[in-house]
Amino acid sequence: MAKTKFIFVTGGVMSGIGKGVATSSIGKILQSKGYSVTAIKIDPYINVDAGTMTPTEHGEVFVTDDGLETDQDLGNYERFLDTNILSGNYMTTGRVYLSVINRERNLEYGGKNVEVVPDIPLEVISRIKRAAKTTKADFVLIEIGGTVGEYQNILFLEAARMLKTENPEDVLIFLVSYLPVPNKIGEMKTKPTQYAARSLNSVGIQPDFILCRSEQPVDEVRKNKIALFCSVPKNHVIASPDVDFIYEIPVNYDDERLGEKILSALKLKVKTKDLKDWRKEVERIRGIDKKIKIGIVGKYFNSGNFMLADSYISVIESVKQAAWSNGYKPEIEWISSEDFEEDPKSIKRLKQLDGVIIPGGFGSRGIEGKISTVKFLRENNIPLLGICYGMQIICIEFARNVCGLKGANTTEIDQETKYPVIDIMPEQKKNLKEKNYGATMRLGAYPAQLKTGTIAYSTYKTEAISERHRHRWEVSPEYIETLESKGLVFSGKSPNGKLMEIAELKQKDHPFLLGTQFHPEFKTRFMKPHPIFNAFMKAAVKGKEGKK
C-alpha cells in the first residue's frame, strides 16, 4: 500500500472564510482523481467536545455515527465526501490535554518530565496517525481551526511542522487566505495574505499552496505577487472566489487543476477523472428557477440570519438537497415561535408556507409557540417535519388537543405536569442529578424498526434503519396506547419496542405530519437527500402544486 499523504489546511487573515468547505472540496477533488480521503478537524478550544457549547456561540453541534458531539465542519466533510467521519477524526485542545494528563497519571510516560512541547504535538500526531490507520485512506486532510498568528492553535501548527519535517514527501500545507477589496480603494489587497504566510513562516512552516478566498477571482498580477512574496510556486496560488452555493467550489478547484497540482507535488498520478456527475448536478441546480417556501420554527435570540444558518446548517443543507432533488430552490423563512406566544393571531402567517420544520432544541423558551404551530399545521393540512424536540412537541400537542390531556407536557419543562407524555429515562435522571452533563445524552446511531404500511416505511422502503440521536427525553411508555388509540402512529420503534423513534399521522388525516426522535439531517449527502426530508419536500411540492 502506498504511504498515507497528509494535507494540513490552515486559515489566514480572518475566520469565517470557509476553511471547512475548502477542506471538504480539496477532499472531493482528490476522490475524483481516484484516491480515498478522510478529514480531521482540530478545534483549539478547551471544551472536550462541542456538546456543551450553545449553537449560537459555536454553530451546530454535529453528531457522528459513533456518538461524538463535534464541530459542524464534520457535517461538511460527510456531505461532500459521502463517507462517515468517526469520532477519532475530531479533537480539541481539551481532548488532547485530557488524554495526555490521564496517561501521565497512569504512569504511561514512565517517570519522564511531560511537557507541552513536544508531548502535546506528539499526542496530536499520534491521533492523526491513528485516524489514518483506522480509515486506511490514501489522503488524510487535517483542518486546523482558528487563524494563523493566534496563540490558541500554535501547538497544532507545531504538530504539522513536526510531521512535515519527518515526512517532507508526504505532507502538504495549505493556507486558506482572504483578499479584501476595501470599498474606498477598490483594489484587491494581498498584504494581509503575505502577513499570514509570514505568520506560518514564524512557526517554521512554509505553505505549499495558497487558496485565495475573495469576492472576485484573484487575477494574474496578484497571483504573481503572492507567489513571489510568499515563496509559493505561482501555479500553487489558487483562486477561490465567492460562489452562489458551496457545492460549486470543487468545480472551481477542478477548473484550476488543483487535483493535478496536488498529485504532482506528491509525485502521484491521476487515476480517474470523475467529477462529471457532480458538475452536471451543479449545472442543473444553477438552472432551477421554481421556488418553494419552507419555514423553520424555533427559538431564536440575539442572532441575525447568519448565526441561524450556522446553528442549523445540517437542517438547511438537508432542505436544500431535498428541494433541489424535486426541482425547486428553497426559500427558508426563520420564524420565532415566541412571536406566536406574544401575538397568537400572527400564527396565520404559517399559511404562506409550503412546509414547516420544527428542529431540535432544549429548554422551555418558545415551547408554547411551537405547540400552537403544530396545532395550526395539523388543522390546516400544512406539511410538518418535527425533529427530536419537534417530534416530542408533536406528541405533546396531540396529547393535549386530540386526546384531551390538558396540560400535557415534557418533564424537561414541567416536572409537575399531570400528563408527562415526554419523560426522562432512569439512567438520564441520574446523570442530571449528578450534574453529569457532558456526552451523556443518547448519542449517535441507534437502530429502529419500521412498521409496514406507514409513511415512514414507504419513505425508507425497508424495515430496519439506523439514525443518529442527541437527546435525553423520550416518549413515555405510559402514554403510547392513549396516543395511538386516537390516531397517532408510532411507525418507528427501537428494536425492543420500548423507545418511540417516529410518530406520524395517517395519510388520510394529514398530507404529512411526521416527527423523528433522531436527527435525519445528519445523514444527508450531496446528491443524496435524506429520505425523510425528501418525503417531506414531496408533500410540500404536492401541496404547492395543488394550490395553483
Closest Cα partner for 511 from 473, 539, 469?
A: 539
- Per DSSP, 150 falls in state S
Contacts of 372 by beta carbon, 8 Å cutoff, 6+ apart: 337, 340, 341, 344, 347
- In whole angstroms, the minimum distance from the beta carbon of 403 to ligand GLN comes to 21
Tell me how far apart the alpha carbons of residues 21 and 310 are, in angstroms, rounded to a whole number.
Answer: 13
Q: In whole angstroms, what is the distance from residue 27 CA to residue 6 CA? A: 11
Name the CA dihedral angle for 375, 377, 378, 384, rounded to a multiple of 10 degrees: -120
Contacts of 115 (CB under 8 A, 6+ apart): none
Whole-number minimum distance, CB 535 to ligand GLN, in Å?
20
519 included as an active-site residue: yes
Least Å from the CB of residue 362 to ligand GLN: 4
CB 230 within 8 A of CB 205: no
Neighbours of 242 (CB within 10 A): 13
In the bound state with ligand GLN, the residue whose beta carbon lies nearer, of 203 and 439, is: 439
Give whichever of 124 and 441 is closer to ligand GLN, judged by the CB atom: 441
Please, which residue, 56 or 83, has the CB nearer to ligand GLN? 56
In the complex, the smallest distance separating the C-beta of residue 129 from ligand GLN, rounded to whole angstroms, is 34
Cβ proximity to ligand GLN: between 66 and 170 the closer is: 66
CB of 253 to ligand GLN, least distance (A): 35
Q: How far is the CB of 530 from ligand GLN (least distance, A)?
A: 16
CA–CA separation, 41 and 286 (whole Å): 30
Least distance between ligand GLN and beta carbon 387 (Å): 7
The order of strands in the sheet holding 5-11 is 90-92, 37-43, 139-144, 5-11, 171-178, 209-214, 237-241
Q: Are 238 and 252 in contact (CB under 8 A)?
A: no
Question: Cell numbers 446528491 label which residue?
Answer: 527
Shortest Cβ distance from residue 520 to ligand GLN (Å)? 12
Distances from the Cα of 195 to the Cαs of 124, 209, 210, 232, 385, in angstroms?
A: 26, 15, 13, 14, 48
Residues 18 and 228: their CA atoms lie apart, in Å, by 25
Cβ 412 to ligand GLN, closest distance in Å? 5
* C-alpha cell belonging to residue 527: 446528491
Catalytic pick from 143, 504, 521, 530?
521
State how far the Cα of 348 lies from the Cα of 231, in Å rounded to an integer: 61
* Smallest gap from residue 456 Cβ to ligand GLN (A): 19
Is the CB of 7 or the CB of 445 nearer to ligand GLN? Answer: 445
Bridge partners of 241?
214
- Residue 229 grid coordinates: 512574496
Q: How far apart are CA 389 and CA 347, in angstroms?
A: 20
Nearer to ligand GLN, 312 or 376 (CB): 312
Active site residue 521: yes
DSSP codes, 226-265: HHHHHT--GGGEEEEE--SSGGGHHHHHHHTTHHHHHHHH
Q: How far is the CB of 392 from ligand GLN (least distance, A)?
A: 6
Count of beta carbons in the 10 Å neighbourhood of residue 1: 5
CB nearer ligand GLN, residue 102 or residue 436: 436
Which of 388, 397, 469, 501 is flagged as catalytic?
A: 388
- Which residue's CB is nearer to ligand GLN, number 247 or number 312? 312
- The number of C-alpha atoms within 13 Å of 340 and in the hemisphere containing its C-beta is 23
Closest CA to 208 of 268, 142, 265: 265
Give residues with Cβ within 8 angstroms of 68, minimum separation 6: 49, 86, 87, 90, 439, 443, 444
Q: Measuring CA to CA, how many Å separate 526 from each of 82, 288, 295?
A: 7, 16, 22
The nearer residue to ligand GLN, 60 or 123, going by C-beta atoms, is 60
Closer by beta carbon to ligand GLN, 58 or else 472 = 472
> What b/e sequence results for 187-213 when a residue is b if at least 16 CB atoms lie within 10 Å of its CB, and e otherwise?
ebebeebbbbbebbeeeebebbbbbbb
Per the DSSP assignment, residues forming a β-bridge with 382 are none
Which residue has its beta carbon closest to ligand GLN? 360
| Chain contacts with ligand GLN (rule: CB under 6 A) | 360-362, 388-389, 412, 470-473
Cβ nearer to ligand GLN, comparing 91 with 388: 388
- Name the catalytic one among 469, 471, 519, 530: 519
Residues involved in catalysis: 388, 519, 521
